[in-house]
Amino acid sequence: MKKEDSIKLFIQNIRKLRIQEGLSLAELGNRSHVPLWMLEELEQGTLPKEMMVTDAFRLAKIFPCPVHELFQ
């Protein structure tokens, strides 16, 4: 799988899981400690340059799922 495809799946999965859990972006940011502006960029279909692997782990912990599932 191409890197771009993994990024696209990551972005789609974060949005899908957030909606399934009934979380607003602000709630997800508060629970995960991922900055709201990063989550807003994800919602717009862009992976923030500043996003780190630890941010993906924080998001996975909220949903709860293994981090690799966010990329599938």
Whether the CB-CB separation of 35 and 26 falls below 8 Å is answered with no
**Count of domains in the chain?**
1
CATH number for the domain spanning 36: value is: 1.10.260.40
Model-level pTM greater than 0.85?
yes
Q: Which of 44, 14, 10 lies closest to 31 in space, CA to CA?
A: 14
For the chain, the DSSP string reads --HHHHHHHHHHHHHHHHHHHT--HHHHHHHH---HHHHHHHHTT---TT--HHHHHHHHHHTTS-GGGGG-
Domain holding 22, by residue range, is 3-71
pLDDT digits (tens, 9 = 90+) for 27-63: 999 999 999 999 999 999 999 999 999 999 999 999 9
